[in-house]
Structure 1
């Protein structure tokens, strides 16, 4: 696992991040992790990044993974953090791959960052605007947490810390978190394929998933809870404001059996994003294992789309 690095933003907040993939590659993608998670999750795409000549910069968002919490931070403000980190690392042009709860931040970056800098975006099992599309088809716990976070994020923070944070801070937390993760997989219609993907994954990849979640909640539940509030509130812009200018700028991957974010949400998003938004439906796949199954396709697509933008 690459070492965690730190960068201090102009407002003195600390950002924790890791660099994965092809370390010296000319092309760079930023990886936006899920929720709750942290930059360690990006290890899942590291091998594919090396194969396809992409450097992956993965920051942990405020309140997760060692990054300082941002009081009342917004999705659009996060784009400023990304640009500051890109400038610090001398990255003039880049793409973004966002998984699950990272998707709203990727769309915010697309809204805020000039196209001369942000050249391509890939969304994997992403969540889409709840205020526009609703939560029909989502698992009941997810629907409850999103609704509760809208009004009472402090309660959600307490619940996350009690369920996951305390385990993450325990010396044997890795084993306990992995057991919780596997137990959650067993509730899915895609359990058999998820189980096969999990068992076939390298030990380092499984460790990265567990470490991502562990570091995402080890500092408490405030960061993930605030993210849930942002997901369930108006994002500050509409999806039709970030429509791609051509078919190679934005690709959405989504499993047809996803119970965390139903396929219907991704289909609605694709329609709102316009005909140049490429929706790739992956049959027989749910939410969590999609990155395992499509790592090479995601990285090769991002590489090709970024090259076309030059």
Structure 2
């Protein structure tokens, strides 16, 4: 399901991408002494703030994709890495409904009283958990991009077989999935030769199942965006496979709440963007989720688009919609 499994650059672009400068990683220590690694993107001094929940496996660097749109629309984007990725401390036996506490602690530390949420792919359940647990007076709106919805109630029909298998296996044997992730990606991510991970991701990009729109979007992306995507994968797996594997277990299991529990009661509170060619998370899953979420949830189906490139293909529309939600509050 990750954003970046569909975004791979040609090798000729590797070195230019890694010379681009990305915002510094910051750190915050939670009351239980776990560390959150995060980045700030977009308009740093803006009064409107959005929290960005990255895909899986990934890290906070992914939010750089929306940084330019954030500056244009006057939105500050705060992106935390979830436990076990990007330098954030792994949380033993953590649950999806634990995550809102981390977000509230970080928001309070940064003096953010109200904020919107943009959740991408595997970050989506954590966004819905925030809707469930955080007082509605603090959340100004929610945007979902290529979102993953509860597989236990909506099924996985149309999803790529590798993703379906990993979600199923992780619910029972997360240690095995952790070993596979570390073997395939982690060891390469820790290698001093950064081009090895780039080459591995590029090979995935060349698969026949990858929509042409994904490849074209990647080729048109700036070196900074390409670097951010590669870095997000690297930092998502280089600390080992347990963080991503435990997250796969959580994504494939009961979330602890239903979509019916987080139905919006006003228009423009929840907007969902989904590509009609998405096979990581098939459109049918988003359509079923929209039906569960009710008439105030808006599903925007994007023609000829897959999974990975949707965030930066629709960057201005996504951030602009979040700005509208902030102004409405």
2:14 — aligned with what? none
Among candidates 254, 266, 275, match of residue 286 of structure 2: 266
Among candidates 299, 304, 327, match of residue 279 of structure 1: 299
**How much does 1:191 deviate?**
3.2
1:163 aligned onto 2:177 = no
TM-score (norm 1): 0.98
Closer, same or farther in 2 for the Cα pair 1:209/1:188, shift >3 Å? Answer: farther
Closer, same or farther in 2 for the Cα pair 1:188/1:107, shift >3 Å? Answer: farther
Count residues with an aligned counterpart.
Answer: 308
1:248 — aligned with what? 268
SS at match of 1:251: strand
TM-score (norm 2): 0.92
2:228 — aligned with what? 208
Closer, same or farther in 2 for the Cα pair 1:227/1:188, shift >3 Å? Answer: farther
Q: Mean alpha-carbon deviation: is it higher for 175-184 or for 106-115?
A: 175-184
Alignment deviations for residues 164-209 of structure 1 (CA, whole Å, 9 cap, x no partner)? 0000000113x22222223223325453211111111000100000
1:199 — aligned with what? 219
2:173 — aligned with what? 152
Q: Mean alpha-carbon deviation: is it higher for 62-71 or for 130-139?
A: 130-139
Among candidates 187, 211, 225, match of residue 245 of structure 2: 225
SS at match of 1:257: coil
Distance (Å, rounded) in 2 between the aligned partners of 1:61 and 1:3:
17
Name the Cα RMSD after superposition. Answer: 0.9
1:18 aligned onto 2:39 = yes
Distance (Å, rounded) in 1 between the aligned partners of 2:238 and 2:326:
35
**How much does 1:301 deviate?**
0.4
Closer, same or farther in 2 for the Cα pair 1:288/1:188, shift >3 Å? Answer: farther
Q: Which has the higher contact order (CA 8 A, sep 6+)?
A: 2
1:98 aligned onto 2:135 = no
Alignment deviations for residues 259-295 of structure 1 (CA, whole Å, 9 cap, x no partner)? 0000000000000000000000000000001012100
Distance (Å, rounded) in 1 between the aligned partners of 2:212 and 2:256:
39
